Amino acid sequence: MVLIPIGKDGGGWCHIILRISPYKNRLGILRGGLLFKIFGGKKKQEEREVLKVDADGPVDCLCDFTFNFHWQHKGERLDPTWLIPGTDITFGQVVEQLKNGGDVHIMADAGHRLCSSMGVDLQYFRGTGKDLPVGDVYVEGDVDSRMGISMTRGSIYVKGKVKEPMGNLVEVKSSHKKYRQFRSITDIATNGLGGDKLVGANLMGKKFIIQDGTVKDTLGARLDRDLEIILQGNVDLSTGILMRQGVVRVNGNAGKNTGALLNGGTVVINGNTDDFTAIDMIKGHIIVNGDAGKFMAANKKSGYILARTGSPIPPASEKKLESSNHKLLQTMGFRPQSFKKFE
């Protein structure tokens, strides 16, 4: 630890406490990161440890709590023990930094899938499966597509551009100048704004209306509250993934895997969906006011799909509409006569 006076603030000296990483390159120079805390004089300011990551070019899956869906490839594509290119910091260390409440500063551009599932204590890694408080991520450059897919906690601050589709995110008025700030849609729906002001969206009681003009993946991921998220426009992958309750409504078209792993609640697409709607669905309802695509209900366990048309995979098949299906459709603002049931 080293104390370095950097100036006066409120009658007391400010100091930065530096903890130099033990990881060094061949020349003995720090590579990849610097950890520090900031303290005020008489009144202690926020104490949040920061890890700086200076990678070789844009790197995919930084701060990715799934490690590029580790359960699918068992570490062949990415593992927590791998070093981030150009640094002596592992992908796992960055995630642990956030889990411990510290911040991560990415000193250049970031690649695809930044902060995937950030804020989820994943059961695959012996976690609880629930949300957990995390630190924030800062990016000094641009971010490639699918930033914040299935993200449930924390903020991402971006100085440059963000490529669409982005993830389960909405912009709020930034608390830091020169950065745009993004928060999880599910976090806001569950825990409120906490004083933040939405950009291109409104939260009014149990309705969260988003009309920011951006295309999103994983809209409403892991939602577990009696609330309706309404997005005006098109979305891409995995709308409503792992929802447990509530409604996610899209007034537009949706991409593949709509309602994937749905575990309760209702997904409403006021348009068409691409293929694999309701894949691995556990329970709940999906309404598609159009074509629900091919390979519908693949590996579905329970629940049903109400759509104008679609091609299910056996054993799912078209069934007769019941009175409860009529009621649900009418409640959601649709005429039941033009719908089919797939279960």
pLDDT, averaged in runs of 10, over the chain (343 residues): 33 35 33 46 58 95 97 96 97 98 97 98 94 97 98 98 98 96 98 97 97 98 98 98 98 98 98 98 98 98 98 96 97 96 98
Reported pTM: 0.86
- Strands, E assignment, the chain: 2-9, 12-19, 35-39, 50-53, 103-106, 137-139, 155-158, 169-172, 180-184, 201-204, 207-210, 224-232, 245-251, 263-269, 283-291, 304-309, 318-319, 340-342
Task: State how far the Cα of 11 lies from the Cα of 30, in Å rounded to an integer.
Answer: 33
- The pLDDT value recorded for residue 48 is 85
| Count of CA atoms in the C-beta half-sphere (13 A) of 284 | 31
Query: For residue 226, what are the contacts with CB-CB under 8 A and spacing of at least 6?
Result: 206, 245, 246
Dist CA 306 CA 257 (whole Å): 16
Helix (H, G, I), strand (E, B) or coil at 215: coil
| Rounded Cα–Cα distance for residues 138 and 104 (Å) | 6
Q: Are strands 207-210 and 201-204 parallel, antiparallel or unpaired?
A: antiparallel
pLDDT at residue 47, as a whole number: 76
Segments making up each domain of the chain, as ranges: 233-343
Position 257 scores a pLDDT of: 98
pLDDT at res. 240? 98
pLDDT score at 99: 97
Q: What is residue 206's predicted lDDT score, i.e. its pLDDT?
A: 96
Three-class DSSP category at 327 = helix
